[in-house]
Amino acid sequence: MNTILLIILTYLIGSIPSGLWIGQLFYKTDIREQGSGNLGATNTFRILGKKAGIVVTLMDILKGTAATILASLVFFADSGIHPLIAGSIAVIGHMFPVFAKFRGGKAVATSAGVVLGYHWPIFILLVVAFILCLKVSKMVSFASMFASVVAFVYAIIYMFFEQDYFLLLIITTLAAFIFYRHRANIARIKAGTEPKVKWI
Protein backbone atom coordinates (compact mmCIF):
# COMPACT_ATOMS: atom_id res chain seq x y z
CA MET A 1 0.00 0.00 0.00
CA ASN A 2 2.82 2.41 0.86
CA THR A 3 4.43 1.71 -2.49
CA ILE A 4 1.30 2.66 -4.42
CA LEU A 5 0.74 5.71 -2.21
CA LEU A 6 4.31 6.91 -2.77
CA ILE A 7 4.04 6.51 -6.54
CA ILE A 8 0.78 8.48 -6.61
CA LEU A 9 2.08 11.22 -4.32
CA THR A 10 5.35 11.73 -6.18
CA TYR A 11 3.56 11.84 -9.52
CA LEU A 12 1.05 14.39 -8.19
CA ILE A 13 3.86 16.50 -6.72
CA GLY A 14 5.58 16.52 -10.08
CA SER A 15 2.29 17.31 -11.82
CA ILE A 16 1.90 20.66 -10.06
CA PRO A 17 1.98 23.04 -13.07
CA SER A 18 3.84 25.90 -11.42
CA GLY A 19 4.04 28.11 -14.48
CA LEU A 20 0.39 27.64 -15.36
CA TRP A 21 -0.92 28.31 -11.86
CA ILE A 22 1.33 31.32 -11.20
CA GLY A 23 0.34 32.79 -14.55
CA GLN A 24 -3.37 32.26 -14.02
CA LEU A 25 -3.51 33.31 -10.35
CA PHE A 26 -1.32 36.40 -10.42
CA TYR A 27 -1.11 37.50 -14.06
CA LYS A 28 -4.41 36.28 -15.53
CA THR A 29 -2.33 34.69 -18.27
CA ASP A 30 -2.18 31.15 -19.62
CA ILE A 31 1.46 30.75 -20.69
CA ARG A 32 0.47 27.74 -22.80
CA GLU A 33 -1.06 30.23 -25.23
CA GLN A 34 2.02 32.45 -25.56
CA GLY A 35 5.70 32.13 -26.38
CA SER A 36 6.77 28.54 -26.84
CA GLY A 37 3.58 27.31 -25.16
CA ASN A 38 5.70 25.37 -22.68
CA LEU A 39 4.87 25.34 -18.96
CA GLY A 40 8.49 25.46 -17.83
CA ALA A 41 10.52 28.24 -16.26
CA THR A 42 12.03 29.50 -19.53
CA ASN A 43 8.66 30.37 -21.05
CA THR A 44 7.56 31.80 -17.71
CA PHE A 45 10.55 34.17 -17.72
CA ARG A 46 9.74 35.10 -21.32
CA ILE A 47 6.02 35.75 -20.80
CA LEU A 48 5.62 36.77 -17.15
CA GLY A 49 9.01 38.27 -16.30
CA LYS A 50 11.89 37.64 -13.90
CA LYS A 51 9.95 37.54 -10.63
CA ALA A 52 7.51 34.90 -11.86
CA GLY A 53 10.30 33.03 -13.62
CA ILE A 54 12.37 32.76 -10.45
CA VAL A 55 9.38 31.58 -8.40
CA VAL A 56 8.45 28.93 -10.98
CA THR A 57 12.06 27.76 -11.25
CA LEU A 58 12.29 27.31 -7.48
CA MET A 59 8.93 25.55 -7.33
CA ASP A 60 9.90 23.16 -10.12
CA ILE A 61 13.22 22.37 -8.45
CA LEU A 62 11.54 21.75 -5.11
CA LYS A 63 9.07 19.33 -6.70
CA GLY A 64 11.94 16.99 -7.53
CA THR A 65 13.59 17.52 -4.16
CA ALA A 66 10.38 16.92 -2.22
CA ALA A 67 9.61 13.71 -4.07
CA THR A 68 13.15 12.40 -3.54
CA ILE A 69 13.15 13.19 0.17
CA LEU A 70 9.63 11.81 0.59
CA ALA A 71 10.86 8.32 -0.29
CA SER A 72 13.45 8.56 2.50
CA LEU A 73 10.91 9.22 5.25
CA VAL A 74 10.27 6.52 7.84
CA PHE A 75 6.65 6.15 6.75
CA PHE A 76 7.78 5.00 3.29
CA ALA A 77 10.79 2.98 4.46
CA ASP A 78 9.11 -0.29 3.45
CA SER A 79 7.91 0.95 0.05
CA GLY A 80 10.88 -0.58 -1.74
CA ILE A 81 11.20 2.51 -3.94
CA HIS A 82 14.63 4.12 -4.18
CA PRO A 83 14.60 7.91 -3.59
CA LEU A 84 15.92 8.48 -7.10
CA ILE A 85 13.03 6.48 -8.55
CA ALA A 86 10.58 8.58 -6.54
CA GLY A 87 12.24 11.72 -7.87
CA SER A 88 12.11 10.38 -11.43
CA ILE A 89 8.37 9.76 -11.08
CA ALA A 90 8.00 13.43 -10.16
CA VAL A 91 9.94 14.34 -13.30
CA ILE A 92 7.50 12.27 -15.35
CA GLY A 93 4.68 14.12 -13.60
CA HIS A 94 6.33 17.41 -14.51
CA MET A 95 6.55 16.42 -18.17
CA PHE A 96 3.05 14.95 -18.30
CA PRO A 97 1.03 16.68 -15.55
CA VAL A 98 -2.47 15.43 -14.87
CA PHE A 99 -3.42 18.96 -13.77
CA ALA A 100 -2.53 20.49 -17.14
CA LYS A 101 -3.85 17.95 -19.68
CA PHE A 102 -0.49 16.16 -19.69
CA ARG A 103 1.29 19.09 -21.36
CA GLY A 104 4.21 19.95 -19.09
CA GLY A 105 7.75 21.24 -18.97
CA LYS A 106 11.05 19.94 -20.27
CA ALA A 107 12.29 18.21 -17.11
CA VAL A 108 15.30 20.43 -16.41
CA ALA A 109 14.50 22.15 -13.10
CA THR A 110 12.69 19.16 -11.60
CA SER A 111 15.57 16.84 -12.57
CA ALA A 112 17.93 19.27 -10.86
CA GLY A 113 15.72 19.08 -7.79
CA VAL A 114 16.05 15.30 -7.76
CA VAL A 115 19.84 15.44 -7.59
CA LEU A 116 19.59 18.20 -4.97
CA GLY A 117 17.52 15.90 -2.79
CA TYR A 118 19.87 12.96 -3.26
CA HIS A 119 23.41 14.37 -3.62
CA TRP A 120 23.62 18.16 -3.28
CA PRO A 121 27.23 18.63 -4.52
CA ILE A 122 26.19 17.61 -8.02
CA PHE A 123 23.39 20.18 -7.90
CA ILE A 124 25.91 22.96 -7.18
CA LEU A 125 28.09 21.72 -10.05
CA LEU A 126 25.12 21.72 -12.41
CA VAL A 127 24.07 25.24 -11.47
CA VAL A 128 27.61 26.50 -12.14
CA ALA A 129 27.83 24.57 -15.43
CA PHE A 130 24.43 25.88 -16.52
CA ILE A 131 25.22 29.52 -15.72
CA LEU A 132 28.65 29.44 -17.39
CA CYS A 133 27.28 27.77 -20.53
CA LEU A 134 24.34 30.18 -20.63
CA LYS A 135 26.71 33.14 -20.35
CA VAL A 136 28.68 31.90 -23.35
CA SER A 137 25.89 30.50 -25.55
CA LYS A 138 22.97 32.76 -24.51
CA MET A 139 20.71 29.74 -25.10
CA VAL A 140 18.81 28.24 -22.15
CA SER A 141 18.11 25.03 -24.06
CA PHE A 142 21.77 24.47 -24.90
CA ALA A 143 22.86 25.26 -21.34
CA SER A 144 20.27 22.80 -20.00
CA MET A 145 21.52 19.99 -22.21
CA PHE A 146 25.14 20.87 -21.44
CA ALA A 147 24.42 20.64 -17.70
CA SER A 148 22.84 17.22 -18.18
CA VAL A 149 25.99 16.02 -19.94
CA VAL A 150 28.10 17.37 -17.06
CA ALA A 151 25.85 15.45 -14.66
CA PHE A 152 26.37 12.27 -16.69
CA VAL A 153 30.17 12.66 -16.63
CA TYR A 154 30.11 13.39 -12.90
CA ALA A 155 27.98 10.29 -12.25
CA ILE A 156 30.48 8.12 -14.14
CA ILE A 157 33.41 9.47 -12.10
CA TYR A 158 31.42 9.24 -8.85
CA MET A 159 30.56 5.61 -9.61
CA PHE A 160 34.23 4.63 -9.61
CA PHE A 161 34.68 6.06 -6.11
CA GLU A 162 31.36 5.23 -4.46
CA GLN A 163 30.02 2.39 -6.66
CA ASP A 164 26.71 4.23 -6.94
CA TYR A 165 25.57 2.57 -10.16
CA PHE A 166 21.98 3.59 -9.52
CA LEU A 167 22.87 7.28 -9.58
CA LEU A 168 24.49 6.80 -12.99
CA LEU A 169 21.41 4.96 -14.26
CA ILE A 170 19.01 7.67 -13.11
CA ILE A 171 21.22 10.54 -14.30
CA THR A 172 21.43 8.85 -17.71
CA THR A 173 17.65 8.48 -17.78
CA LEU A 174 17.01 12.08 -16.76
CA ALA A 175 19.54 13.34 -19.33
CA ALA A 176 17.73 11.29 -21.97
CA PHE A 177 14.44 12.90 -20.89
CA ILE A 178 15.98 16.36 -21.21
CA PHE A 179 17.45 15.74 -24.66
CA TYR A 180 14.19 14.20 -25.89
CA ARG A 181 12.13 17.11 -24.62
CA HIS A 182 14.53 19.53 -26.33
CA ARG A 183 14.48 17.85 -29.75
CA ALA A 184 12.77 20.89 -31.35
CA ASN A 185 15.38 23.16 -29.73
CA ILE A 186 18.16 20.97 -31.10
CA ALA A 187 16.77 21.42 -34.61
CA ARG A 188 16.64 25.20 -34.13
CA ILE A 189 20.18 25.27 -32.72
CA LYS A 190 21.41 23.44 -35.82
CA ALA A 191 19.50 25.88 -38.02
CA GLY A 192 20.80 28.89 -36.07
CA THR A 193 17.30 30.04 -35.17
CA GLU A 194 17.19 29.20 -31.46
CA PRO A 195 16.16 32.28 -29.40
CA LYS A 196 18.89 33.77 -27.21
CA VAL A 197 18.56 35.55 -23.88
CA LYS A 198 19.86 39.07 -23.47
CA TRP A 199 20.01 39.43 -19.71
CA ILE A 200 23.25 37.52 -19.07
CA distance 168 to 185: 25
Q: How many domains does the chain have?
A: 1
- Tell me, yes or no, whether 179 lies in a domain: yes
Whether 143 is covered by a domain: the verdict is yes
Per-residue pLDDT band at 76 (split at 50, 70, 90): confident
Q: Is residue 198 part of a domain?
A: no
Query: Does residue 152 lie in a domain region?
Result: yes
Residue 77 is assigned to a structural domain of this protein: yes
In a domain, 200, yes or no: no
For residues 76 and 131, what is the distance between their CA atoms, to the nearest angstrom? Answer: 36
Indicate whether 196 belongs to any domain. Answer: no
Q: Look at residue 67 and tell me whether its pLDDT is greater than 90.
A: yes
Q: Could you tell me if residue 197 is inside a domain?
A: no
Task: Give 77-99 pLDDT, tens digit per residue.
Answer: 788 899 999 999 999 999 999 99
What's the domain range around 61?
2-191
pTM confidence score: 0.93
For range 36-51, the mean pLDDT: 87
